Each structure stands twice: as structure tokens, then as C-alpha cells.
């Protein structure tokens, strides 16, 4: 890097090689590590049936009621300030996970309230670190929670699937490093200092997402191509490369797109923070933050946070190897689901039918449909919370992987919406996978708050037809809000929006790298499928801070007519759009519909539209 790290113009670098093909990192299932068990608490058994006359056939026995609560399994590792060898245990997990991009290890590192000294928690793949207090300030690490890119020669564009939540950090140098790409949320964190989002050496980076966090010092994105920050407070923001979006952020830079490329909304229209595990004395509970409208700033720091909580005894604590039938039995009993770290194979959909059900994953718990089923379906009910897990497509094509609401869902959920938070979907990469449409949102008022829906461009089981996935996200429901929408590499449309009054704040996309030729992506008379398509029937829709990139490295002569397509009507509005050709591997003719300049040769410079129409 030639620019000074403090140069506010830093750096407008291309993302060539952003997803260089890697062999799938083989990793055996991680051995059991130190864990702390939560006390078991049995749910009441169902009443036994009355005796039947001797002449009648014996009634079928009801399945024994599943217990709520229980231990959190071997890959949830719980520390308190007196735990010996904390740094050694952190290093042991990181050694397993540092480069295990497509491995099977899954870990949650949980810290009881208190103060910890001299730690550097390096966070690798499929690893979550979190405090167990009601407030981030209940759990303070005098040290660092670090993501860097030494494993990939200083390139941070593949630092996926990891998270930090609910901790206060006092960085050793005054600045904490969190150099991540997609699917790596930084939630409910308090950094008593600055935050550096770039890898050591300021190599390429492609993130990212911050929510409900306070960074006392300056945030330096440096080489980060794009970033979304929601409902937080920051001491300052250093620079922008292509697309930096803020909503409800105290201390955010002023609106200035495209130079610098800041999209700043004073508030977030509707938000409800992700559920989280915490300790109430010696008992585990799950806190459910309340919904906010026109939200700004963090939800914590002024007394007890607003919301409700549930005891662990009301959750079925699932372990890898459990069947979909057992998960559905637990849900039918009225239990919520806590998915402990690991991989869950499903031969039928997990069916959430009850209002206000919570499905919370720890340590990137991963659901895999084995026989072409949908992994998870939600009924058209109020207040379901899906959070913190990964869905990995199986080798038999699934029509869908996640469905929120059945087709035709129409109930009004404005008072108590369903939220989908840190739920990530992957097709290919860890092995062959196929899905026609990955995520379908049918229920009205759903909030999709940070997702990465990814048809893999590297790893195992990757190829134009090998991991075929035509559509990423389809929104049929009205009044849906997406905050932090990352959708990449689908064979046809990445996002299709049919619902009325939809809103998206921040969108990041790359078109599929591996299209073999122009004919393979031809959409009738249109060259290529838009990254984000609003249906012609829609009369009201709005988006802020949306970007699409192309890197057609198999056939660099491919032309994409536009990144965005929408009906020309007064109620459909976009603010701050951009398209980028990465080093001339493919070109865009326009930004949205027939508006916007073409991308320019081999120059990796965005073509922008400030407002449309």
C-alpha cells in the first residue's frame, strides 16, 4: 500500500482475486473442550391418557416429553475470571479454526461477567465470542478480540462466518482489529478505544456489519470496500472506498455520496436487536430485546435493557445428531430451540408454527437438508425470532432453503414482526449443494437484519451447474424491511422483490463469477439478470446504499446491462446506487434500468446514481 493509513482518500483499490479459489479446508470434527453445563430443568410431561376398555385397541403411546434446559455441549466453552489457562484455550480453538474455511468445527466462547486481563482472543472460522452479562460493560476484556488475515497472505476478503457480541474491550494498543468480510457481525460491543477494520498491511477487505455497538474512538475502515453500521455510537469514521452506509448512528459522517461514498440515515425505521444468552445469577436465560421504531444509538448503557427474557428451561437445547423430527417435537411441545455448535442433518423441514418462537444458534450451528427438503419453514404468525445459524444446501436440489411464512401469507405483523438476524445461507463451498431459491420471505413486516446469502465461487462443489442456484432472496410479503442485505453469485436474479412497500438499507452484491459466456446469462432481450429486481407490479419500494459488482473471470467479455431493475413509477425510489467492474472482468452498461454511465474499461471505479428516478 502506498497511501498513508490516515489519508482520507485511502484507497480505491480493486478487489482482484477477492475470492481466489481455495481447496476446501479439511477439518475433522473438533474434540470436546472444556465446557460448563447449565443445569437441566425438566419440562412438565404431558398428562397420560385415560384407560380404555379391554375390547378397544391399545392407544398409541405418546412420545415422552422432551426436557427443556440442559448442558450446552462440548463446543460451548465458558470462562470466568478465575478460569486457569484462558489464553491457551483461546489459542487452541484458533489454531483449529484459523484457516478451516469449510471445516466442520463450530465453537462458542462465552465469558461470564467480570474483568479479564491480558487476553488476545483471535477469532477464526465458525467461532463466536460473547459476554454473558445483560450489558456489554458487565464483561470487560483488557485486551483484544482480533480478526486478521495472516492465514490468507494478508487478504481479508474470505474472513467469513465469525462473530463478536456483548463484550467491552480495552484494546492494548488503543485500537482493536476486526478485519472481516461477509457473515461476521460485530454486535452489542463496547470498544473503549478505536476500531481498525483492515488487515495488517491494509490488504483487500470486503465486509461488514456493526449493530448496537459503541466505539469510543475512531473507526478506520481503510481498505474495506463496503460497510453497514446500524443503531450505534462512534467517535468518528475515517474514510470510505465504495459504499459506507449508516442508519441510526450517533457520530456518523454527514451524508455525502458519492464522494466520499457515505449514505447516512438519521434513524433506522424499525429494528429489534438479536436475542442473546446471558446469566442471571447462576442460571442461563435468553434476552429478547424489544422492537424500536425510528431507532438511534445503542439499546444498552442506561439501566436494564428494554425487553423480556426466557429461562433456558423453555428451550430445547439441541445437540448435533438430533433429528428434524425431534426438533419438531420440541417445537410442538411449546419449547424454543437453542442450537448448540455443530452440524445438523435434516430429512424434513424444521417447522415453526407458534407465535413468538425463538430459534437461536450458537457458534454457527449449521443446518443441512439432505434430501431436497426446505431446512426451515415459519408459519404466518407473529414475532418469530430466527438468529445466529447457517443453512448449507445439500447435494439434492431444494426448491427453497428458508421460508418465512407460507405462500400467500397476508396477516398484519406490524406490531410484532418476525426477525431474521445473522442467518446465513450457503450453496456449495463445503461440498456440492443446489437450491432453486435460497430465502423466501412471504410474511408481511418481516425484518431481515444482516444476512449473507452466497452461492459459493470457491471451495468444493463449485461450478456453473455444479452448485446451481438461480435465485438468492425472493420477497413476496408486503412491508418487509432489510437492513444489511448481502447476496452474491446467483445464476439468475440475486434479489427479486414482489411485495409492496419494501425497504432495503444497504445491499452488497457480486454477480456470479463463473458464467461461461454471454448466452448463459441472457435474460430474454436483456443482457444479464439484475442483481436486485423490483417486480413490475410494485408501486412502492425504497432503497438506500445499494451496490453491485461484476467479476466475470471465465469470460471477461460478458456485458451486464444493469445492476438494478425497477418499474418507472413515482413510488419506487432509490438513493445512492453503484456498480463496479472489477478490473474490467465484464462490464455494466448502466446502473439502474437505462440510467447511469457504463463502467469504464479496466478501471475499478464505481459508476453511480445518486437518486432514481
Alpha carbon distance 358, 352 (integer Å): 9
Burial class from Cβ neighbours inside 10 Å (0-12, 13-18, 19+) for residue 555 reads: middle
Distance set, CA 409 to CA 77, 304, 383, 536, 588 (Å):
40, 36, 14, 20, 36
Alpha carbon distance 523, 244 (integer Å): 31
Alpha carbon distance 344, 317 (integer Å): 13
In the numeric block, which cell numbers belong to residue 270? 424499525
Asked whether the beta carbons of 39 and 77 are under 8 A apart, the reply is no
DSSP one-letter code for 429: B
* DSSP string computed for 446-465: -EEEEEEEEE-SSSBS-STT
**3-class DSSP state for residue 326?**
helix
The terminus-to-terminus CA distance of the chain in angstroms comes to 38
Alpha carbon distance 132, 138 (integer Å): 8
**Phi, psi of 250, rounded to the nearest 5 degrees:** -70, 130
Question: Annotated active-site positions, please?
Answer: 510
In the numeric block, which cell numbers belong to residue 145? 478480540
Q: What's the half-sphere exposure (Cβ side, CA atoms, 13 Å) at 223?
A: 28
- The DSSP element (H or E) to which 331 belongs, if any, is helix 324-332
Alpha carbon distance 104, 123 (integer Å): 16
Neighbours of 119 (CB within 10 A): 17
Q: How far is CA 574 from the centre of its chain?
A: 23
Residue whose C-alpha is closest to residue 177's, from 201, 212, 152: 201
Alpha carbon distance 35, 265 (integer Å): 43
Neighbours of 209 (CB within 10 A): 26
Alpha carbon distance 136, 191 (integer Å): 10
Amino acid at each position: 500500500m502506498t497511501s498513508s493509513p490516515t489519508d482520507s482518500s485511502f484507497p480505491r483499490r480493486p478487489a482482484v482475486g477477492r475470492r481466489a479459489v481455495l481447496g476446501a479446508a479439511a477439518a475433522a470434527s473438533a474434540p470436546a473442550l472444556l465446557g460448563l453445563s447449565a443445569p437441566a430443568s425438566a419440562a412438565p410431561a404431558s398428562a397420560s391418557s385415560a384407560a380404555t376398555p379391554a375390547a378397544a385397541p391399545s392407544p398409541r403411546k405418546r412420545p415422552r416429553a422432551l426436557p427443556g434446559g440442559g448442558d450446552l455441549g462440548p463446543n460451548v466453552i465458558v470462562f470466568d475470571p478465575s478460569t486457569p489457562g484462558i489464553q491457551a484455550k483461546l489459542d487452541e480453538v484458533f489454531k483449529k479454526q484459523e484457516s478451516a474455511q469449510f471445516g466442520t468445527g463450530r465453537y462458542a466462547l462465552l465469558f461470564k461477567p467480570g474483568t479479564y486481563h491480558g487476553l488476545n482472543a483471535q477469532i477464526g472460522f465458525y467461532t463466536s465470542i460473547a459476554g454473558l452479562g445483560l450489558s456489554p460493560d458487565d464483561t470487560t476484556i483488557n485486551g483484544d478480540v482480533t480478526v486478521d488475515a495472516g492465514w490468507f497472505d494478508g487478504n481479508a476478503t474470505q474472513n467469513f462466518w465469525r462473530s463478536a457480541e456483548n463484550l467491552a474491550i480495552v484494546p492494548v494498543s488503543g485500537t482493536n482489529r476486526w478485519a472481516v468480510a461477509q457473515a461476521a457481525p460485530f454486535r452489542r460491543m463496547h470498544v473503549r478505544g478505536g476500531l481498525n477494520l483492515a488487515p495488517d498491511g491494509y490488504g483487500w477487505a470486503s465486509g461488514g456489519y456493526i449493530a448496537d455497538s459503541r466505539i469510543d474512538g475512531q473507526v478506520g475502515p481503510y481498505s474495506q470496500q463496503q460497510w453497514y453500521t446500524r443503531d450505534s455510537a462512534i467517535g468518528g469514521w475515517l474514510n470510505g472506498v465504495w459504499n459506507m452506509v449508516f442508519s441510526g448512528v450517533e457520530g456518523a459522517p454527514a451524508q455525502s455520496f458519492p464522494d466520499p461514498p457515505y449514505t447516512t440515515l438519521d434513524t433506522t425505521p424499525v429494528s429489534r436487536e438479536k436475542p442473546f444468552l446471558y446469566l442471571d445469577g447462576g442460571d442461563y436465560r435468553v434476552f429478547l430485546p424489544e422492537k424500536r421504531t425510528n431507532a438511534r444509538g445503542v439499546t444498552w448503557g442506561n439501566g436494564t435493557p428494554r425487553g423480556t427474557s426466557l429461562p433456558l428451561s423453555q428451550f430445547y437445547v439441541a445437540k448435533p445428531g438430533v433429528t428434524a423430527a425431534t426438533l419438531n417435537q420440541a417445537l410442538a411441545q411449546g419449547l424454543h430451540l437453542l442450537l448448540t455448535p455443530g452440524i445438523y442433518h435434516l430429512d424434513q423441514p424444521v417447522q415453526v408454527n407458534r407465535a413468538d418462537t425463538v430459534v437461536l444458534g450458537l457458534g454457527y450451528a449449521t443446518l443441512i437438508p439432505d434430501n431436497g427438503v426446505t431446512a426451515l419453514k415459519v408459519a404466518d404468525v407473529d414475532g418469530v425470532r430466527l438468529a445466529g445459524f447457517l443453512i448449507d444446501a445439500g447435494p439434492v436440489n431444494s426448491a427453497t432453503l428458508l421460508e418465512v411464512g407460507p405462500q400467500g401469507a397476508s396477516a398484519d405483523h406490524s406490531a410484532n414482526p418476525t426477525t431474521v438476524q445473522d442467518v446465513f445461507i450457503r450453496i456449495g463451498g463445503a461440498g456440492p449443494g443446489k437450491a432453486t431459491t435460497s430465502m423466501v420471505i412471504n410474511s408481511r413486516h418481516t425484518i431481515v437484519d444482516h444476512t449473507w446469502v452466497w452461492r459459493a465461487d470457491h471451495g468444493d462443489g463449485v461450478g456453473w451447474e455444479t452448485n446451481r442456484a438461480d435465485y438468492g432472496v425472493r420477497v413476496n410479503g408486503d412491508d418487509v424491511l432489510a437492513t444489511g442485505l448481502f447476496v452474491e453469485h446467483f445464476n439468475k436474479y440475486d434479489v427479486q422483490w414482489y411485495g409492496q412497500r419494501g425497504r432495503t438499507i444497504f445491499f452488497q452484491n457480486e454477480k456470479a463469477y463463473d458464467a461461461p459466456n454471454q448466452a448463459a446469462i441472457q435474460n430474454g432481450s436483456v443482457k444479464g439478470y439484475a442483481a436486485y429486481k423490483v417486480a413490475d407490479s410494485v408501486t412502492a419500494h425504497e432503497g438506500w446504499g445499494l451496490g453491485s459488482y461484476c467479476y466475470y473471470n471465465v469470460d471477461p467479455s460478458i456485458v451486464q446491462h444493469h445492476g438494478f431493475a425497477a418499474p418507472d413509477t413515482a413510488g419506487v425510489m432509490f438513493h445512492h446506487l453503484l456498480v463496479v467492474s472489477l478490473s474490467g472482468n465484464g462490464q455494466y452498461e448502466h446502473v439502474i434500468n437505462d440510467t447511469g454511465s457504463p463502467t469504464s474499461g479496466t478501471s475499478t471505479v464505481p459508476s453511480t446514481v445518486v437518486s432514481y428516478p
